[in-house]
Amino acid sequence: MSRRPGTASQPDDRAAEATAAPATRPASHPARATTAGPVVRRVPWLLLGVLVLAQVGYPLTGGVTRARLTVATVVLGWLLSVGHALLSRGPRTAAALVLVTTGGGLAVELLGVTTGVPFGGYRYSGELGPMVAGVPLVIPLAWTWMAWPAWLAAARLRRPGPARVVLAAAGLAGWDVFLDPQMVAEGYWTWRDPTPALPGVPDVPVSNHLGWFLFATLLMALLGPAAGRAAPRRWPAGPTTHDRVGRRSGDPDAPMHALYLWTYGASILAHAVFLDLPASAAWGALAMSIVAGPLAVALARSRRAGPGVPETG
């Protein structure tokens, strides 16, 4: 049987196709190449927007309504931080965040109300909802809410290592300089012996702030190996480098940076103007500025420099 012209070259053609095939074959690890879509990218921003609205309503309410709004705000904050970890880094990092910060927060609170270690003696009033062994169930969620943005802020500012852990711990503990006086003023918890205390903040002992920093250091040291090794997924930039409100749309951690800076500025304003807590406004502004100040400067410089996703691993 005679061959048709050109059939002798078929083996070479097939070999060439086999050689080229790997270049067009789908990646064997699709999760590593995942790029979050624009809808997914908006979810943390939407949650942050709802959270901001809830916090704006805090000074406008009182009594039971304010307590319920406080609980709702903490739940929103927890959903925002865990949701961001899940969407930007995947389920393993999100699970590690919950285990370390929510689980660890519950453990240290149970230890605290039972023994007074490491914060000092205190008790909860019961106004923040259901409790387990004297600890409102919502309290451990608050540790997660602000631990994640504090970690990511430190990751933006420092390379992996002890300096990042300490800075993240300072960023979380600094928030409590606002939180504790505000919650004590509402009667959500009380201290058995609030001395010595910071000048102008007589109802919260200094031991509480030291305890926060020590435990936050432990949290960040445990969180680092899980969160630090996970490089954020690439989020697509929009049609322009910055959207209308100045967000770097290609930076997956931008919502958490915004959360940290919003918490800083809004807490100063609320304490100084709406809650009649000027001393905690000043002390909190000083404490959180350790992280908030350098973070704001770094983001401003990055904005001027142009697009790009910073290294946080």
Kindly give the confidence (pLDDT) of every residue in the chain, 313 residues in length, as a single tens digit, with 9 standing for 90 and above: 444 444 444 444 444 444 444 444 443 333 343 445 677 778 999 999 999 999 999 999 999 999 999 999 999 999 999 999 999 999 999 999 999 999 999 999 999 999 999 999 999 999 999 999 999 999 999 999 999 999 999 999 999 999 999 999 999 999 999 999 999 999 999 999 999 999 999 999 999 999 999 999 999 999 998 776 666 766 554 444 444 434 445 689 999 999 999 999 999 999 999 999 999 999 999 999 999 999 999 999 988 876 554 545 4
Q: 256, 300, 246: which is closest to 168 by C-alpha? A: 256
Residue 310 makes CB contacts below 8 A (sequence gap 6+) with: 156, 251, 253, 302
Among candidate residues 310, 264, 256, the one with its CA nearest the CA of residue 290: 264
The whole-angstrom separation of Cα 156 and Cα 152 is 6
Q: What is the pLDDT of residue 302?
A: 87
Residue 226: predicted pLDDT: 78
pLDDT confidence of residue 13: 47
- Tabulate helix, strand, coil % of the chain (nearest 5): 70, 5, 25
Q: Look at the block and give the residue holding tokens 């196709």.
A: 17
Q: Is 207 left (phi over 0), alpha (psi -120 to 50) or beta?
A: alpha
Residue-range domain boundaries for the chain: 39-235+247-301
pLDDT at 230: 63
Helix axis angle, 104-115 to 139-157, nearest 10°: 120
Per-residue pLDDT, 231: 61
Structure tokens at 50: 């709802």
3-state class (DSSP) for residue 131: strand
pLDDT at 227: 78
* Helix intervals (H) in 90-136: 91-97, 104-115
User: Nearest to residue 216, comparing CAs of 302, 281, 146?
Assistant: 146
pLDDT score of 307:
56
Contacts 24+ apart (CB under 8 A), 8-14: none
The b-or-e profile of 82-109 (16+ CB within 10 A means b, else e) is bbbbbbbbbeebbebbbebbbebbbebb
Token pair of 219 as six digits: 């949290």
